Structure formats: C-alpha cells, structure tokens
Structure 1
Amino acid sequence: MLQGSSGTQEAKEWANAGDLKSEFISIVNGGISSSGLISTRSAYKEAPVEGIGLLGLPMSNDDAAALQSVLVEERAGASRESEFPSLMFPDHHTRSSTEFFFQNKAWIDFLAHVSRGLCVQLGIDYEATPPHLGPKSIALGTLGSWSAIANRKHHAPPRSLLLARVLLVLPSSFTGGALKITYDDYTDTYALDANASDVVALAWRPEATAMAEPIVTGVCLTLCCDLILPDAPEASRQRLLPPLQLDVVARLRNLFHMWGACRRSKVPSKLVCGLQGNYSITTVKKAALKGPDLRLVALVDVVAQEYGLRTGLAVLNTTKLDLGPMIHPLSVDPEAVDLHDAPSPPYARGSESNSETDSDSDVNSFPRKLKEYLKELEKPSLPQISQLVGLDGTPIQDALDCTGHTEAVPRQLERALTSSYPWKGFDASSWQRQLVLVIWPRWAEYDRVHGQQAVSEACTQLQSSTSERPTEAEENLLDVIFGRASSSHSAEVVAAVCPATIAWGRPDLWVRAMTACDAQRSVETLDVENVRHAIERFGFTDVKSSVESVVQREPSDVTVFRFLHGLERWMATQAQSQNCQLPASFDNWVQVQRSKRYQTVKSRLDTLVNRPDEANPVMVSLIVHAAIEGGNTDLIFLETRQPSASPL
C-alpha cells in the first residue's frame, strides 16, 4: 500500500497527548472487531498459477500477444454497458466471463479462500452465509493504460447483495499502476505491481469509488470480480454488510503510524491482546480463529502492514486456583512451578504441633497463616508467554516476556500477568491456555528474534562496524541497546558502542550509550581509556557532562582524586604534544571538582572527630588516603581539630 491521506493531523495530536496502550484499548473497546475496512489489498503466493484455460501463468510476452488477439478491443470513451464496471483502458482488451473458463479446478478453491480473507478484512460475516466471488471479465492492459472505475450501474442478479468489488491482478510482468479508493474524505492508494508469481487481490465496498493510475512497463492481466451473496433476504443486509466505522479504523492507522515512527523511548516494544475464543494450541495460526477474534486479527494485521508493524499469535498458559473465600482466585504460570521446593502449607506440618495442646486461637489464625504462607512463596517474576508464531503459524520465538502494566490488553490479561503466584501448595482447579495477539513495530523486531540476549547480540554486531557513519541497520542496533540496556550491560556497551560512536564522530550517541547502561555510576564502569578516546575525538566539552557525573557519583574519594589527577596530567601531555596551552576552562573545572570532593572528605572527618566512638581503622584509613591522593594533607594534619566540649 502507498500512503493513505487521512488522519495525519490526528496522529500528530495523539502523539502529544499520551498513552499508547490506553489508546489501543479504547480502539478495541470501540468496536474494531465488528468494523471493517472500506478497501483492502492482499497478495497470495499459493495461487495455482499452472494455467487458466489455455493461458499459462506467469504470463509471457508470447501469451500476452496471443491473448490480445482473441480479446475484444475497447477504446477510450467507449460507453458499452458491462456486467461489471471493469477496468477501462485506452486501447485495452477484454472478454466477458462467459467466454473463458478455469481449466485448473484448484482455482475454484483458491477463489473461495480469497473470498473468506477479503470478507474478514472488510468486516463481512463470512461464517453466517459464505458469499460467492465470481469473475465477470478478464482484461489486458498495456503500456500507458489507465482505468476509471466509476459508479456505473451494476447489474446484479435479483435478490442478491453486492458486498464488494474485487480486482485480481494475475501473475504478469509489469511495473507501475495503482488503485485509488475514495469515500467521502477518506482516500487510500494501493500499488498494483507485486511479485511476478503472486496474485494481488484489491477489494472495496460498493459505496466507494476507485480510480486507477497507468502502468509504466509491461502488460497487466486482471480478473474483474463481484463478491455477491445470492438470494440475500432484505432483513439480513444490514447484518451481513455492517456500517462503516471509518473513525475507529482511522484511529488505529494513526496509532500504528506514530508507534512505527517512534524510536525507543517511553513507548512499549509490543502490545499483547487477549483473544476471546477457546482454541487448540496444536494449531496456532490465523486460519484457526473465528468470529470477532478473526476480524480483529485480520484488520489489525492489514493496518499494521501498512506502517511496517508485525503481528503474531502466542499462547498464554495459566492455572486458576480457587482457595476459598479467604484467598482470591489467582493466575499462575504452570511452567514456573517447582513441585519439590515449595514448603509444606501450615496445616500440613503435623510434626510441629500437638492436637492436645492446640487452642481455638490457632484454628482461628489459620487464614492469616495461609496468607503469610502464600506471601512467603510469592516471586516477583512474571509468567512467560510461549509459542510466538506468525499469523501463518511460522515459529518466531519460544517464549515471550510481557510487562502487564504497559503491554497487556485488555485489563483482564494485565491482571493475569501481574497477579502471579508460581507455586503448587494446593491442587489447581483448572488449566487455561489462551491465545493472544502480539503486535510490535519494526524497531522491536530484534527483540523478538534474540529475546533476552538482544542487547548482547546487538553489542557483538556493533563491534565489527567499519562504517564512517551509522547505517540503518546499525541505528536499529542502537535502538535495541538504548531501549533495553541496563547497568549489567555496561561493560559490553562501553566496549562495543563507544568505539563505534567515536569512529562516527557522534558525541550525542556516545553520551546516550553511557546513560543507557548507567556507566557513569563509577570510574571503573566509565573506563578511563574510553574517556580519553572520546576527548581526543570530540573535545572535552562534549563529554564533560558524563565525566562530571562519574566524579559526583563515584563512591570512593580516593578513586575520584586519582581519576582527576590522571586526567589532568593526560590533558597536559596532549596539549604539550600539540604545542598549545591547556584550556583554562578545563583547569578551572578540575579545581572545582576537586574542591567539592574535599568538602565530602572534610564532612567525614568532622564526623570522625565529633563522634570518635563510631570511628574504626577502615574509616580513618580511607580519610587519610583521600587526603593524600587529593594532595591536601593540611586538610587533616595542620588544622586544630578538637571535639566540642560539653558543659559540666
């Protein structure tokens, strides 16, 4: 799909307003599963392209010439009434469906498969009464062809209901061409060309208008079809063809547009949406879904593809426990339970009690003891979602972490993920396996593939970077690191990301890397050589904030004084080698930082003098070493310091 024209301003305003998850919940609750698209485009790789009649697919130039010789030529401006408002090309060629047939019978089943998929995306209830997708004509367009599919009178069979108009672009070699769908102030434009072996299905509701743009090279072979429900009672038309909810679909587009354009910051890397139906976990794919779940997944997938987002299905395994009125029902992860490590429940510890000496108060305290027992067993880890697959069932990831408060939709799923008690002190009353829809933007794809090792893997790949500026792939790796790195990754980030950012001449990325892994928490994690290389490349001003942060946060006074002394001496050597003076601003900065640390040492010394009973050899040693490293022993030994005397 090319770019839709509606909703740009709303997306910008929403991005400034607030929470992505809340907006998605609002869209789901707003009836998105009972809505549908005004138009849609799908590509099918499984089409039986061995032949239609005597025509082989993909179509060759010889086949195109042979087909053209048997089709009826229609010139621009022709006003011939047609059973279908077909593609009208200048000098194009066409034949009615009564004049060709399908030699390959697999095409009948394929058209039924296409019909089902289009109904789901358009919000049409396929399960109630399957409609019929019937070809009306075949058309061949050549260089410079265009089409105008206007709202011409449609000759549908009596009592039949026209659900959609469909254009099947058959496997043929051409470039260019597009279909523009308009309805009120809504506009979408779809590309016609695709893989030469694919069948592209374009469908739009009958109340919309379609205009086609010309192809540039080659020949375009199309089937013009109607999606019709034969003998449809008048009373069922509203039910089978639901009213359009373009505002809900537009909000979903705006949401995905903003989410896909975000670099990692405060937005979640995925959304996990619970489905309503009960399904077998042996066949996890879109084809197994039904009803509102199928329509929700299909519509979300279509819109997600427009903006580069991916969708998949996964399994949430939970066990429901009913412990009576004293404890509320809990959701637990059966895979996280250890059957052997759980201590015995309070009433099972018979060896620790005597029935003759137990009092009524012990019995009455049982609910409290049970709650304490559960609290003892509770662990903070969240259950994992397993078996993430693509909508076609292709495996993606064995397990998936989910932060319920920011990623789970709806609220019931959030509670299931955040009220986890992984234990088996009692027999579970029932097992539950629920399918969930998982949505993630392109920048989070790395997380889905590498899981918990995403940051480490990204650092490993960046270590081999030889580019002069970050490539798109390397920017995606940085997104992974900046969004997922923690203090435990500081060594990897400093070793991999910092050399790359220095080579690129990007001090802003260097500072972001230091902040992402909290390398500024100590001199050791920031790494002295890393600081020196950054100063050589960027200058001291660009890295000053990170260096100043580590001076303030380093817990050891001795380490800070040594770091400042070494940095001062190295900077002086660098200036001397370049026959220039050490900047006065740097010298002043060092003196200020050293003075601030002196004040810290003095406050500790004051505490030692005023409260000598709290002193110990380690404390005294640290203060003395700090004074020596700071080059200011007068601070301690030449000042008269006596504890304050208390009056008798």
Structure 2
Amino acid sequence: MLRDDSSDDEINAVEPGQSESSSICRSLAQILEEGQNVTGAFSYMRTHPVAPNPGLHVNGLGTLGLPLSLREAAAIKACAQFAASSSTLEDASASGRHCWEISANNVRFENGGWTAFIDDTLRQVCQAFAVDYKTSAPRSVLSKLALCEPGFSSSASVVHTSGSGAIATVVVVLPSKFTGGEIRLAHGDREEIYDCSTDSLANTTVLAWFGDCTREIQPLTEGFQLTLHYELLHTNEVPPPSLFDQDQTVSRLRDLFSTWNSEKGITDTPRKVVYLLKDKYTHDQLAHASLSGTDAQHVSLLNNVGKLHEFRIGLATLVCTERGAGELQREYYGDEDWIEGANDVTMVEVDDREIEIIRLVSLDGRLICTSLEHDLKREGIPTRMIKLITSERPDKQMYAYQNSEHMSYKRVFYRTVAVLWPQWAEFELVHGPGGFLDACKRLRACNTAQPTAEDAELVEAILARTEPSTSDAVMSSVCKVALMWGDLPLWLRTVKACNAERCISAMEEENIHRAVSAFGFQPLQECLQQALQRDPSDVDTLQFLEDFRDWVSEQESSELSAIVVPWIAARRKERIDGLKGPAEVEYEALVELVLQHGDPEELERKVLPYIISSASDLVIVKCVELLSGERCNSVTVGACTRMIGELLTTVSSKVDYRPLLNSLHVLDNEDRLELLQLYIKGCVVAKRNDLLSDVWPRLKDFAGLSNSEISSHTEYTLFPLISDVAEAASDVYASEVSSLIETTVSHWLDTLGTPDVPKLAENMVLVMLEAISASKQTSLLDTRIIPIFEAEANDKQLRLLLDGLRASRSILGPIPDTVTLSLLKKWFATTQQPLNSTEAVAYIVSFDMPEACSLLFQPLLNPPVLDKSYVQTQLAILLRSICSSLATHKLSAKSPNFAPTLRAIMRHWTEKVMVPRPTDEAFRPLTALADWKCSCKHCKAARDFLLHTSEEVWTGRIGKQNRDHVIAHLGKHARFAADWKALQSRGNGEPHGVEVRKDGRIADALQWSRNRLIGLELLKAISQDEAELQTVLEEDYPSILASLQEPIAPASTASTVPRAQNVRVAQTATAPGMLPDVYMFCEPKPQGAPSRSGEQRGVRQGDAIAGPPAKRRKTTYDEKDVIDISY
C-alpha cells in the first residue's frame, strides 16, 4: 500500500535523478500509442478440449467418425490423391508418399454447429493477429482435407498463402491419435514451436500463421494426423494487414527490452512498469482471455515480444482511495431528492490518498502475489495516471456529516493494470524489495538434515540471482545449509557463484573450518589454493595460514596435521617469495606477521627489500619506527641496526626540511612533514650522529625566508617537530634541542605583528607552548615571550597567549599569578570589547582569581561621572553579565569576589534611577489601562502606543467597525490617559479611523514603572531566594526593596482594579523564600483568565468590544459514521 500525499499533477511527474526509469516509461508509452492494431504475433495455436464434431462427409466415403480410426484412415488413403509438392502443409520431395489430400469440393460438414465454431475461431485468430474484423471483413475458405501418416515431415521453407487477398493459413487438427509432428514457425529471428500430439485423441487444435513465414515439420512418428486447411481471406478494398506492418513496432519494442536488460543493476532502472488498461475488468476473474479490444492487443504485443527477452507480464487491480471534504451538488428537498443527490457528491479537497495494487495474476489467471509495492511516479504509464483515474466516476463512495456545513467524503476507484517486468526483477517483485535478503535469512533458519522441495527451490532461486552486492549473504546462508545437508557440490557451487575464490576473506575462516570438518581437507584443497593465489592481500593470506595452522593443531588429529601443515608451509613460502600486496597499506601488519612467525632473516632478506622497492619514502621511514619499538625484541641488535640503517640511508637524500613551503598540495604537505618528523626521530632513536650532524644546522637555517614564510615554517613545521623529537631525544641531544627551540622562538617573535604575516591563531600559541614544554625551556616565557607580548601585542594576541597559558598548565606547570594579572591588565587597556559585557566578565571569571575580578570591577564602579544614564547603560549590563557568568560557572552570588559589586550596583540603581518617585495620582491611568484585555490587533496597536512608545499621536485607518470597537475600549480604560476622535472615510479610498492623542502626564509614571520592573529583574538575576538576597545586599536590602514597591493607585470609579500588593506580600503569595515573577501594568492576561476582581468578564455577541469570531476548526473523518452510496 502507498499513502500518497502528492497532488494529482505530481503523480508520475518526471523528477531529477529518474532519467533511466522515466526514459523507459516514456519510450514504452510511445510505442504502445503508435503501435495500435499490433500484437507482435505471427502465429497462433489454441487447443479445444471441447469442440463440436464437424460431421465430416467425404464424397465417396460418407460421414467419417471422430476420433479417426485406422479403418477410416485407410479408406481416406484409398480415395485421396498424393499431395503435390506445392501443398501448403507438406513437401512431397522431402517426405515421400506419406500425405494424402482431398479437395474442398469433395468435403462438406453436416453439423451446423461447426460453422459457428469456425466463425468464432476466425474471430480469435483475427484478434491474435490484430486484424480489424470490421475493416478487413475477413472470411475463411476451406482449401482441403489432409491425412498424414508416420514418416511425414517437411524441411524448413517459406510458405506463401494461396489465393488473392489471403492473409493467413488456418489449420484445424481433428481428433486422432498420433505422436511427433511438431511444427516450427519462424519470422526473422523469432520462432515458435507447437506440439499438437498431446491428448490429440480427444482434442481439437487450431493452428494459424501469417503468410511468408518459415515453416518446418518434424517427422510424424506414430498414428495418423487428420487436418482441415482454411485460407483467411481479406475481402475489403483497403490493403490487407501483413507482418511487415508489425515489424517496425516489434523492432522498436525489442530494442527497448534489450536496453532495459542492459541497464540491470543501475539504481534508476525500473524493476517493472505499471500500464493502465483502457477498460475495467472483474479482478477475481482476471486473465488474458477476459481482455478485449486495444487492451488485449497491447497485452499480447508485450507478451509476444517480451518473452523473447525474458520479460513477463501480468494483470492486477489498482485501488485508489481518497478521503477529504465533500459537497452535495443538489439541495435537500426530501427523501427522494436526498437519495438521488447522493450520486452528485463531489470532492472539494483531498486530505488523504491511498493507492494499492492487489492480486497480480499471470495471463492465464494464476495468482502471483496478493499485493505489489509500487512507485507510480517512476513506473506508471500513462503520466498523471491517478489524475486520469480520479477524473471518472468512483466505483464506491461514502459520506458522513460532521455538522450542518461540513461533509467527510470517501471515494474508491478500481482500475485494471498490466504489470511488465524483466525476469531478473521477478524475485524482488514477488517477494518485495527486501525479498532476496529475506530468502537468505529463511535459509539460515533452516535446521533440517535433508532439504525439502521448498528448500531446494529456494537455494536455486538464490544462486541464480547472486550478485557481488549480495554474495556475503549468500555465502552465510547457502554454505550453512550445504554443510548441514552434507552437500559438498552445493558448497563448492556456492563459492563459485559468489566468486568467493577471489580472496580468502570472502570465504570466511569459520566457513572454511566447518567445511574441512564436514568434508575433509583434500576435497577443498584446490579451492583454497586458488583463493590464496588470487587474494591481492599479502597480510590476509599470511594471517589465514597462521590461523589455519593454529586451528589444525587444536583439532588434535595427526592425520589432518600430516596433510595440512606441510601444505601451509609451502603456501607461506610461495607467498613470501612472491609478495604483491599493497605495501602502502599493509607494511605494518606485514612486518608484524613476519616477526610473529619468528624468522628475522626472512624479514631482512625478503620483506624489507620488497617494501623499499615498492613503497613510498614515508612508508619506508615508518618501518624505522616499527623496528625501533618493543615489537622487534625477537630480532638481534645487530640485525635491527643494519635494517634501520638501510632504511634511513634510503630516504636521507629525499627529506625536505621545509616541507610546507615547497608544495602547494595540503595532503602532500602533511606527508612531507611526517616524513621529516619520522626521519629525525629515527635518527635520534638509532643514535645516527653521522646523519644528525647534517640535520641540526639545516633545521636552524632561515636564510632566504620572508616573514610570512618564517611564521608558517615555525608554526606548522618546527614547533610540532621540536615537540615530537624532544620526547624521543635522550640527554645526549638536549643541547641541540635547546638551541633549536631558542632559534625558532626568536625568529617567530621577530615576525609577530608584521604586516605580511597572518594573524596569530590559537593553534599557533598552543604548539609554541607545547614545544617549549617538551624541550624543557619554559624560562623562555619570562625572558623572551611575555615581555614581547606586553610591549607589542594587541588585545587579540594577548588573549590568545592568556588562553594558551591557561590551557597548557598541565604541561608548563603553575603559572605565577603576577604574570597572568600583568597580561590581563594589558588586555584591559587594549581590548575593544566592552568590559561590562557578558563575554568580558565571563572571561575574567573563568580565571578564578579574585584579584582579576577586582582589577575589572573597580574602574567600572568608580567612573568619572556616576549618573542615572551611566547606571542604566553600563552598570545594569555589568550586573547581568556577572550573574550570567556566575550561573555558567556554577558560582554563588554570595562570594566575596562578587557580592560587593552586585550590592553597589543595586544601591546606585535605587539612588540614581528610582528617584524622584511620581505621586500615586500619576499612576491612575496606568492602573485603568491594565484592565484592557482585548487581544485584537487594533486594540493591541492603540494600547502599545499608550504604554510603550514616546510618540504623542497615533492614527489608525482601520474601518468603521474596528474604529467603533477601539473607541469603546478607549472610553472604558483610557479616559485618564488620552484624548481621541473618530475619523471619517475620505474620497481617496481611505477608510474610517481613529486619532488618539496621549496625555503627557503619564510619561513619567510609565518611565518609573519600567525602571521599577528593570530593578526587579536585576534582583531576580542576582537570586530569587530571599535569604540569599539579604546576604548579598546586607544592610541595603530593606531600602532597595522599599524603593521598588508598586505604587498605590487612588480609588476611582473608572477602574475596578484593586490596589496593588507590595513586593513582600506578592512574594509570600507565591512560595516561601521566592521573589515574584516580573509583572508589568500593561501586560494583558491570557484570554479567558479571570479579572483582578476574580470574576470572568462575559462579552455578548454583537457588543462593540467583542473580539473577532473564532476560526473554524478543521473537521475530521470518522469511517464509523458514514452513509454508503456505492453503485
């Protein structure tokens, strides 16, 4: 089943990435469209188990009985003439005297039902050959009665129809017992072979073929064959149909099938094509014989041509179900009109579509599968198939009313489709996309000692469809049952089918061990030896031989060991002598395997020479690292020294001491740098002073390099190299390493900040500090690096150094606080970042140094001018930044490092910002506005103007109804806050509106209220716990809280809002020890919330202040509540 959410126009739309599939579908659709009246058939055969007796009467013999007896056959021979060589069925020169004919003038039929049978046969032949019965007006003419006896045959020859207007030859084989006589009919490279001898005693068989076909008859071996010969004549004046008319269509279709098969395995190649037939047919009686007209011709064409290319065709039913909103086309006037109108329901909007293809059957009606996966966008013909289907009347429909206005509607369409698929896709088509792997899984679950017929069929199906991508699944399943059934040929066949002899890993060691246990070693020896020879990996083959030897020893079988152990030794020597694996990848495992085997001489004489001759310089020097490690304990010191010396000498002349400056390719750079590092490290570990004497001077050579090149060379080459080499170097080379790091740092510092050098990056600082630590030259920090940074570095460079020092504490040891504070002070003086910002404060807090916090906070708390603006724009931000950093680092506001600063900021806020305090009378307009709860956009615009803007006048051209609605609310809630007037519509099209002018007296009250709320927010930022706040604010706590109390609004009849609670009361009304959430006077409560008086305000429909109508809810479909109006 497919749940389809696409629009009608999207079904079968060609999309990017579907070129192969859409091309095949388009070409096939075009061929079928242009190939009308073509079936691709040049011959025809149908056997009738039940057919009328013709009542065959021969002049001179009388009426002949059927089935034919020997006596009547002899009588026919006695009165018939020998067939002429020009006969349409036989060749006298080739067959001898074995066929006799009686002309049509001497034959008549006494059963009137025979004429009807021949007329019906004529129609069936015309349908098979796509001969238009109306246009051609064909008729059949009996030409002769023929009797053939044993020995009759005919060589291949072209048989031409006789008579003017003859289209085809029709032969009726009457009931008689005979064997042999198969007929081969061919046209071009197509051929059909028909055998009429099966049940020939009881059956009547009709054969037909177009003129100009090649015909060959095999010898009749026993009995007599009695046949009636008819000519199918074209009687109209238009040209008669011929095979030439079909050949062009057949040729195009064959080319398409060949292309389709050639694209097997390509992702976009369709596995099938679903073709919509013109008419609908009953799905439980679906078969080729039930089709008619164009549908029958197209299915015949696809079947006749497709079978030549191993294509199959079947028939199925497509079910399209749509659900959505429906609409009756007629009004309801009464019961009769209601029933009649049910058929006039239309789909207004499709909410859901399901498409199923069910009951796929063969052309003879046999069930292939009950349902079919599909993708009509890629596999459907014609395009927009679903749109075409749903444009017709549904086969079934149901509806149900959700309310008086909305109807849920369901309709179902049934259509017949032909499904065409290549033979190679049949398994997936029948069993689903994962059918092949499911079949392998079912086979792995088999636990019977002998295969059942179903198991054997499943094995053959799997092996026939094995591909490289599925070989692992096939090996694990078929080899398992082959071992369980004791079937050695099946095991070997599976290995061949999966091409598992290509490498030993494809055969799997466990599978090999079990096979040797089940079948013995000798039957498998040739197969294993071929896999070892073909395997491209030296490591895999040598590892298998090691593991196989260990497994054989575990079997404790002297007989098996006597055969296998010498074989393993021979195979190992054979592989070592002919190494061929990818040394670039396998060098390490190869060296380890040889060392594990315990043959150092083999390593020196065979393996290393092979690596030197075939591997890159980087791999060669990596082998030095391998031979310098503990894994080489089994090799003597002398042998190890010789091998390392040979490897180092091989690459010494190829080492690049400036790798990143001599190549533009990143990967090449990395390889050159690694080669340099490993080479120097190898020389140090091996104490090759002769080579190192050339290394140290070349590393310290900066001649000819620009500042930019020096910066790049030190960052990416020298600093990492020093870190790597210093760890491996003994005290013998300490002076050389120290000299190298001093020279490198000196040149690096000289380039710092120069114009042509890239900006200092974090990685540069880290690699520099790591190199200083590894070389044990941390004194360079105090003597060279920090002084230069303090004197010349900018804020970003200083911060990078600070970050690097903090990140490198584990390798540098403790950094004195004086150094950090000195750098921080320099950073404060140079940074462009606001020091009160969250980022700056968080950065200082991260150092966990009280002195650093004091260094930052004191200048900010003691500016030259400490006024209201400074507190609002600087200190408030600082407080939020401190609180945010405390939360990030999970620190307490009560810490002595932060509490004094937070207390000072809050004290400044109350002293500089919250005074002077407006009179209580000034807050009356605000308390009235707080009860304005309408959430429509026009009320919200007017309310926002009054409470949140500094403008004096607001004009809204909002239409008469909306204007009256807003004015009603203004009169109820804004009498003390504003004046307003209604605006009439203008001739230029401007609608009615309202102009509101704000009362200037509310500005101070509004600003003070906002500042109060900000103050509460600052308190909550510090802490929402009262006890913690008291600790932080100490003796200032009462005065700060008092300054932030909500004003007391004077009593007024204009508002029902009660006097606001103070902060402490609100606090205790929420939860013990917690501060209240911030609340603003003008903040509207959620729709439906109770007013401050605790009562819900009701609004009658039609009131001036009523809000906009509620949106209509989308209806849902309930299949349990439906009216079935199927027809």
- TM-score clears 0.5: yes
Cα distance per residue 1:243-298 (max 9 Å; x no partner): 613143245457768999x9996698963340331313433222332333211111
Alpha-carbon contact 2:210-2:243 (below 8 Å) kept: no
Aligned residue among 569, 593, 605 for 1:583? 569
Shift of 1:498: 6.6
- Matching residue of 2:273: 272
Residue 173 (structure 2) pairs with residue 164 (structure 1): no
Shift of 1:542: 3.6
Report the Cα distance in structure 2 between the residues aligned to 1:522 and 1:208, rounded to whole angstroms. Answer: 53
Q: How does 1:632-647 map to 2 (within 5 A)?
A: 634=630, 645-647=770-772
| Structure 1: gaps (5+ residues) | 1-17, 79-83, 156-160, 324-369, 417-425, 553-559, 600-631
- Matching residue of 1:359: none
Q: How does 1:93-242 map to 2 (within 5 A)?
A: 93-97=100-104, 99-102=106-109, 107-126=114-133, 131-146=138-153, 151=160, 154=163, 162-177=166-181, 188=191, 190-191=193-194, 193-197=196-200, 198-206=203-211, 215-228=220-233, 232=236, 234-235=237-238, 237=239
Q: How does 1:56-67 map to 2 (within 5 A)?
A: 57-67=66-76
Report the Cα distance in structure 2 between the residues aligned to 1:441 and 1:462, rounded to whole angstroms. Answer: 34
Alpha-carbon contact 2:486-2:518 (below 8 Å) kept: no
What is the aligned-residue RMSD (CA, Å)? 5.9
- Matching residue of 1:48: 51
Report the Cα distance in structure 1 between the residues aligned to 2:566 and 2:207, rounded to whole angstroms. Answer: 70
Aligned residue among 509, 516, 529 for 2:494? 509
Alpha-carbon contact 2:178-2:220 (below 8 Å) kept: yes
Q: How does 1:367-516 map to 2 (within 5 A)?
A: 385-402=357-374, 408=379, 410=381, 412=383, 431-439=412-420, 452=435, 454-455=439-440, 464=450, 475-480=460-465, 491-496=476-481, 503-504=488-489, 507=492, 509-510=494-495, 512-513=497-498
Aligned residue among 285, 293, 296 for 1:294? 296
- Matching residue of 2:1030: none
1:569 alignment partner AA = D
- Matching residue of 1:596: 589
Aligned residue among 80, 98, 106 for 1:72? 80
Report the Cα distance in structure 2 between the residues aligned to 1:491 and 1:213, rounded to whole angstroms. Answer: 48
Q: Aligned pair in 2 of structure 1 residues 463, 109: CA closer, same or farther (>3 Å)?
A: farther
**1:435 alignment partner, SS class:** strand
- Matching residue of 1:529: 514
**2:245 alignment partner, SS class:** coil
**2:198 alignment partner, SS class:** coil
Cα distance per residue 1:376-420 (max 9 Å; x no partner): x99xxx9763201122323232123347698x354738999xxxx
Report the Cα distance in structure 2 between the residues aligned to 1:461 and 1:596, rounded to whole angstroms. Answer: 39
Report the Cα distance in structure 2 between the residues aligned to 1:383 and 1:490, rounded to whole angstroms. Answer: 38
In terms of mean alpha carbon deviation, does 486-495 or 430-439 score higher? 486-495
Shift of 1:119: 2.0
Alpha-carbon contact 2:44-2:209 (below 8 Å) kept: no
**1:301 alignment partner, SS class:** helix
Cα distance per residue 1:477-506 (max 9 Å; x no partner): 511455995877775344125778971287
Alpha-carbon contact 2:40-2:300 (below 8 Å) kept: no
Report the Cα distance in structure 1 between the residues aligned to 2:243 and 2:70, rounded to whole angstroms. Answer: 43
Largest Rg, 1 or 2 = 2
Scaled by the length of structure 2, the TM-score of the pair is 0.37
**1:202 alignment partner, SS class:** strand
Alpha-carbon contact 1:511-1:543 (below 8 Å) kept: no
**2:280 alignment partner, SS class:** coil
**1:438 alignment partner, SS class:** strand
Give the aligned length: 507
**1:580 alignment partner, SS class:** helix
Report the Cα distance in structure 1 between the residues aligned to 2:225 and 2:430, rounded to whole angstroms. Answer: 38
2:126 alignment partner AA = C
Percent same amino acid at aligned positions? Answer: 20
Alpha-carbon contact 1:87-1:139 (below 8 Å) kept: no
2:82 alignment partner AA = E
Report the Cα distance in structure 2 between the residues aligned to 1:19 and 1:484, rounded to whole angstroms. Answer: 21
1:295 alignment partner AA = Q
Report the Cα distance in structure 1 between the residues aligned to 2:408 and 2:546, rounded to whole angstroms. Answer: 65
Report the Cα distance in structure 1 between the residues aligned to 2:529 and 2:309, rounded to whole angstroms. Answer: 40
Shift of 1:567: 3.2
2:524 alignment partner AA = F
Report the Cα distance in structure 2 between the residues aligned to 1:515 and 1:432, rounded to whole angstroms. Answer: 51
In terms of mean alpha carbon deviation, does 519-528 or 128-137 score higher? 519-528
**1:277 alignment partner, SS class:** coil
Cα distance per residue 1:111-168 (max 9 Å; x no partner): 344333322332212476774445432211223335688547516xxxxx54322223
Shift of 1:545: 9.3
Report the Cα distance in structure 1 between the residues aligned to 2:442 and 2:517, rounded to whole angstroms. Answer: 26
1:313 alignment partner AA = L
| Structure 2: gaps (5+ residues) | 1-18, 57-62, 326-349, 388-406, 555-559, 593-627, 634-681, 686-723, 729-766, 773-777, 779-1127
Report the Cα distance in structure 2 between the residues aligned to 1:145 and 1:25, rounded to whole angstroms. Answer: 49
More helix as a share of residues: 2
- Matching residue of 1:355: none
**2:125 alignment partner, SS class:** helix
Report the Cα distance in structure 2 between the residues aligned to 1:59 and 1:195, rounded to whole angstroms. Answer: 16
1:41 alignment partner AA = Y
Report the Cα distance in structure 2 between the residues aligned to 1:448 and 1:66, rounded to whole angstroms. Answer: 57
Scaled by the length of structure 1, the TM-score of the pair is 0.58
Shift of 1:49: 6.4
Alpha-carbon contact 1:275-1:437 (below 8 Å) kept: yes
Alpha-carbon contact 1:520-1:546 (below 8 Å) kept: no
Cα distance per residue 1:24-64 (max 9 Å; x no partner): 86355233443344721323244416665455555443443
2:287 alignment partner AA = K
Report the Cα distance in structure 2 between the residues aligned to 1:433 and 1:484, rounded to whole angstroms. Answer: 39
Report the Cα distance in structure 2 between the residues aligned to 1:303 and 1:431, rounded to whole angstroms. Answer: 34
Q: Aligned pair in 2 of structure 1 residues 277, 74: CA closer, same or farther (>3 Å)?
A: same
Q: Aligned pair in 2 of structure 1 residues 409, 191: CA closer, same or farther (>3 Å)?
A: same
Q: Aligned pair in 2 of structure 1 residues 73, 311: CA closer, same or farther (>3 Å)?
A: same
Q: Aligned pair in 2 of structure 1 residues 583, 594: CA closer, same or farther (>3 Å)?
A: farther
Q: Aligned pair in 2 of structure 1 residues 447, 56: CA closer, same or farther (>3 Å)?
A: farther
Residue 548 (structure 2) pairs with residue 567 (structure 1): yes
